[in-house]
Amino acid sequence: MMGVEEEKSEGEGKVWSLCRMPKLWQMSSGNGNGSSSSSSSSMGNNNVYQQTPSSERSAVTSSNAFFSMAKSLLPARRRLRLDPSNKLYFPYEPGKQVRSAIDIKNTSKSHVAFKFQTTAPKSCYMRPPEGILGPGESLIATVFKFVEPPENTEKPMEKKSRVKFKIMSLKVKGETDYVPELFEEQKDEVTVEQILLVVFLDPERSCPALEKLKRQLAEAEAALESRKKPQEETGPRIVGEGLVIDEWKERRERYLAKQQVEGVAPT
């Protein structure tokens, strides 16, 4: 019985040794003695602790890369408010040049340059095609388009236009003068504000969109005429270098000279 028990215990010991063998192989450096295994285990643990900071740095780097990619996928913040927001309404008059209008307002706290682009530059143009708006400043841009006559198979009001317009914006520093190179030099900072589709309206049929278009066109024309007029002088005129003439004093002197010529004593 003792022999059987000894053999059994030896057998169990072998089984447990086999079960523990993979762990020993992982921790030991190939040496069979216990001291080398324990030293190898401690060295392995030290290596694990030494490698932890680098793994954390790798995780942080991966996290930063993920957030950067997510940020790039987010829609860009709009600097301009457009009215209409995504369409340009034109009266449908085949064979004629018609007009549309869009109100552009800078809703940011900085100066913003804007620029129009179209897929049909030969038949469409904008006034103004580009410019710079200060914080809170707005203007009404006029868009001109030639309407192609419908084909034989098309009904007048069923004609659809494939022409599109794009408005881009760019943040600029201070009161910068607009130059075409602005958008080329800072391509990475350019924001596409909106892609505008063309919608035709029946000029003989009144609707809210058509009435609004008429008001915007009238405001755009009035603003254009006011810009053409020379600015009235609100202050004293400056003549020569550093000489300021008071207009009231000048009128008084002319009046006195006239009275002397006529022989009337001034009062």
| pLDDT (0 to 100) of residue 16 | 45
| pLDDT (0 to 100) of residue 159 | 64
Write out pLDDT tens, residues 205-237. 999 999 999 999 999 999 988 888 766 555 554
All domains in the chain, ordered by first residue: 80-226 (2.60.40.10)
Higher pLDDT, residue 257 or 42: 257
Write out pLDDT tens, residues 62-110. 666 665 555 455 556 789 999 999 999 999 999 999 999 999 999 999 9
Q: Categorize the per-residue pLDDT at 176 as very low, low, confident or very high, splitting at 50, 70 and 90.
A: confident
- Which percentage of the chain shows pLDDT scores above 90? 43
3-state SS, the chain, equals CHHHHHHHHHHHHHHHHHHHHHHHHHHCCCCCCHHHHHHHHHHHHHHHHHHHHHHHHHHHHHHHHHHHHHHHHCCCCCCEEEECCCEEEEECCCCCEEEEEEEEEECCCCEEEEEEEECCCCCEEEECCEEEECCCCEEEEEEEEECCCCCCCCCHHHCCCCCEEEEEEEEECCCCCCCCHHHHHCHHHCEEEEEEEEEEECCCCCCHHHHHHHHHHHHHHHHHHHHHCCCCCCCCEEECCCEEECHHHHHHHHHHHHHHHCCCCCC
Q: What is the pTM of this model?
A: 0.58
Weakest mean pLDDT among 54-68, 218-232, 239-253: 239-253
